[in-house]
Amino acid sequence: MTPALQSSISRSNYFSNCTHCGFCLAVCPTYKLTGDENNSPRGRLRLWSEEASGRLSKDKWTDFYTEECVGCLACETACPATVPYGELFEQTRHQHVASNRFKPKLQLRLASAAVQRLLIFNLAMLPTRLLRRMGARVHRFLFPGRPAVFQSTAAYADELMQRHRPTGPRVAFLTGCLMEAAFREINFATLRVLIENNCRVIIPEGQGCCGAFQEHTGLDGVEKLRAQNRRAFCSLDVDAIVSNSSGCGYALGKALHPNQQVRDVLGFLGELGPVKRQRANNDETRVYVDLPCHLVHGQKMEGIPTKVLDATGYHWELAPNAKDCCGSGGVYNIQKPENAHAILKEKSAFLNEAEGAPVILATSNHVCMMQWHSAGVAGLVTRPYEVRHVIQLLDPREEVFS
């Protein structure tokens, strides 16, 4: 049996797992937005299944509804029949792109090629790091921060390890592509927090982009990147492999062997019981915590551990509908900006009335941070607020940008 035939048979089996109960409809952002059955998980599964069985010919509407999906995976969590929607979606999107039924935007095709060569990508993004460091607001997705322009996360890890000489758990850290190239201040904060908590951090050489970018766009390259990361991570003698981005951690987990679990750094710190930050009694900061889809529906974590959020020292609470998608969807806010805007509009509305001075929206995925930052730029949130990664709130050298 050819692999293609085997794959199409197992896809058909998965399609037939769907009992059409409809539990997934209530959690689907595109169904909530449109009320259109075809724009729901059940509807998409039906379209793909009908086409796979030959009862429906290839159709532009199937292509349209496939591309409407944010890829949030909320339907997987809601599904009592454990239909692996995410895997089916990923395969379908890849087939659509490979057969030219759908063409990702040019900027995404270029970025997909660039992130597969991290040296070049980091060099190409140097002006972005420089502009962010200078405080320039050049793009709606670029939240404030002061990344190192030249020093890499690996070099900073060496410096900190030599200075502090921690003796605790040995952890391998995924530095990421966009995180390292544009937002490496979050990587630096992660290193400081891990080392303050006595972790010995190593940055595996030869690691690559996790492949999430290609998964989100349907473009080629995932298998090559997964193989590269297996070479970089699989032979390491470490207590944990950690990631500070829920989407990247989820994608890396799919690449590695099943006995090498990738841990979200906040989940890992929750087990250690992190050092607590002290705040002034009259600190009126209020932190609203949003939970990335790939943390709760991908990595299947309940949320960010309470111990970690308490250790920030701030008054915190979960954002309303914290487990709902913010509309970012990896690159969905570039592919489908109108939908992403509408989802964000509803999700971010509470910030206009939220108590606190300052107000911080904290999450654990840089791509979600970009989306949350854009709510202010787009005028959806008209009062001042800051967007932060939770790890930055634990950082002994926390920076304030407001």
Q: List interacting residues with ligand SF4 (CB under 6 A).
A: 18-24, 27-30, 41-42, 44-45, 69-75, 78-79, 81, 83, 85
Q: Which lies closer to ligand SF4 via its Cβ, residue 70 or residue 199?
A: 70
CA-based Rg of the chain, rounded to a whole angstrom?
Answer: 21
Q: Which lies closer to ligand SF4 via its Cβ, residue 30 or residue 207?
A: 30
Q: Alpha-carbon distance 200 to 172, whole Å?
A: 9
Q: How far is the CB of 34 from ligand SF4 (least distance, A)?
A: 11
Q: Which lies closer to ligand SF4 via its Cβ, residue 32 or residue 170?
A: 32
- Cis peptide leading into residue 358 (ω within 30°): yes
Closest CA to 139 of 389, 376, 401, 385: 376
Q: How far is the CB of 43 from ligand SF4 (least distance, A)?
A: 8
Q: Alpha-carbon distance 135 to 194, whole Å?
A: 27
For residue 112, give the H/E element and its range.
Answer: helix 106-114
Q: Which lies closer to ligand SF4 via its Cβ, residue 75 or residue 174?
A: 75
Q: How far is the CB of 215 from ligand SF4 (least distance, A)?
A: 12
Question: To which residue do tokens 């929750």 refer?
Answer: 270
The DSSP symbol for 394 reads S
Q: How far is the CB of 44 from ligand SF4 (least distance, A)?
A: 6
Q: How far is the CB of 209 from ligand SF4 (least distance, A)?
A: 22
Q: Which lies closer to ligand SF4 via its Cβ, residue 18 or residue 240?
A: 18
Q: Alpha-carbon distance 327 to 140, whole Å?
A: 15
Q: Which lies closer to ligand SF4 via its Cβ, residue 64 or residue 401?
A: 64
Q: How far is the CB of 193 from ligand SF4 (least distance, A)?
A: 31
Tell me which amino acid residue 23 is: F
Which residues make beta-bridge pairs with 200? 170
Q: Which two tokens stand for residue 52?
A: 């796979």
